[in-house]
Amino acid sequence: MLVIEVDGGYHNTCEQQAEDRTRTLQLEHFGYRVLRFTNDEVMGDLQHVINKIAKEINNH
């Protein structure tokens, strides 16, 4: 029960960050774990993103 979210630049606004926090809390309430990455992380260092996902999976 892992959610992986990839956020674009509009997630930098205060309003969107508040919505993201609310959504994350709701998902966690239902037992999901949420990993969040930026588009830049995915495009610039995909191996790092994959490693973080693998680590999260292996730790649970």
pLDDT in tens, 7-32: 876 667 788 788 889 999 999 999 99
Which residue reads 């992986």 in tokens? 4
d(CA 23, CA 30): 11
What dihedral do alpha carbons 49, 52, 57, 60 form, nearest 10°?
Answer: -150
Quickly state the pLDDT bin for 5 (edges 50, 70, 90).
very high
Residue 46 has pLDDT above 70, yes or no: yes
* Domain locations in the chain as residue ranges: 2-58
pLDDT in tens, 47-56: 999 999 999 9
